[in-house]
Amino acid sequence: MKIIRFLGVAAVAAATAGTMAAVTSPAAGAAPLNPDMVPAMQRDLGLTHSQALARLAAEDSATKVGQALQQSLGDKFGGLSFDAATGKARVAVTDAALVDKVRAAGAEAQVVRFSERQLDSNVAKLNAGEKSAPQAVTSWGVDPANNRVTITVLKGQAAAAQSYAKQSGVDVSSVEVTETATAPRLHYNVLGGDAYYIGSSSRCSVGFSVNGGFLTAGHCAALTGAGPLSGYNRVAMGSFSSYRFPGSDYAYARVNSNWTPVGQINNGTRVSGSTAAAVGASVCKSGSTTGWTCGTIRAKNQTVRYPEGTVTGMVLTNARSDSGDSGGSFISGNQAQGLLSGGDTVNTYYFPVTTALSATGTTLVRG
């Protein structure tokens, strides 16, 4: 049978052996209410189920009232905020004569100094000079509840924010400076099937998110020198913590604080457990080369003799895979099954995720 190439090694014909779905060199150059929303609101906002539903309804009503008033008030509109205590829209106006109009529309009224357009104008001035802003200044924007433009700065650097506001030509009386302990940073999700890169020349695929990182194929580390990892977007991601190949084919990669392990495959499929499916059951795979492909589980406890070493205890499927899919996710329903190891043009093998979890001492992140 035709064997998939691995790191440029010539194909090896052997009826008893496949070849790993290998790392490859990178190429050049709604629904109105998510079912998870209410439980999350209960947990994070300290609400009961009925309170969460009531708040969603109140917020929707407040938004509609506020938008209508924004259009009718024009330049005298000072901003819209939601008052969680009363469940009403709070609409700011720059003219006290408009208070009754706001109340008649079903909103709370607040008389303020600055209109929304004035505050937005000041933000535009800050934006125009952004390249000259001190590094200590981490963000700015409109706070309609307080009728101010808020500039956030690292602790102890308030003077830098005030200086930048003056330099930008904004009305400093409209500015409020707040301090923060740390600068903001980008966050990326670790999703099964996404590409990641080892060093500067090799690519594999994420298997499943676990506490602190993700599981993938061990040969992705063992046969590449286990260099530093970067994500699908080439942002620094972390490093291999432990791995094993041959004999087994698993690796545990720890990610840095820019990345968040998520219990999902990159097509949105949630991972809810790791119960092993039976022979004959359907199984699908996500990898960074061939994407989402499906087949059935054909056999278990397979010993596969790759040219680079033998791996035992694997599962045979007929789901299609190719170079670069190594480490990718095999899932049946919502149950994680294994980490793509290798195969040929017809068969693909995966290493059981339960064995990898036990060997690395990690816990599956569930979606």
For residue 326, indicate whether it is catalytic: yes
Q: Which of 115, 274, 326, 332 is catalytic?
A: 326
CB contact at 8 A, 326 and 340:
yes
DSSP characters over 275-339: PPPPTT-EEEEEETTTEEEEEEEEEEEEEEEETTEEEEEEEEE-----TT-TT-EEEETTEEEEE
CB contact at 8 A, 231 and 188:
yes
Burial class of residue 162, CB neighbours in 10 A (0-12, 13-18, 19+): middle
Residues forming beta bridges with residue 251, ordered by sequence position: 216, 243
What phi-psi label fits residue 53: left (phi over 0), alpha (psi between -120 and 50 degrees) or beta? Answer: alpha
CB contact at 8 A, 76 and 99:
no
For residue 249, indicate whether it is catalytic: yes
CB contact at 8 A, 95 and 78:
no
Q: Which of 249, 322, 325, 344 is catalytic?
A: 249
CB contact at 8 A, 341 and 217:
yes
CB contact at 8 A, 153 and 143:
no
Q: Which of 168, 174, 219, 321 is catalytic?
A: 219
For residue 187, indicate whether it is catalytic: no
- Give the active site residues: 219, 249, 326
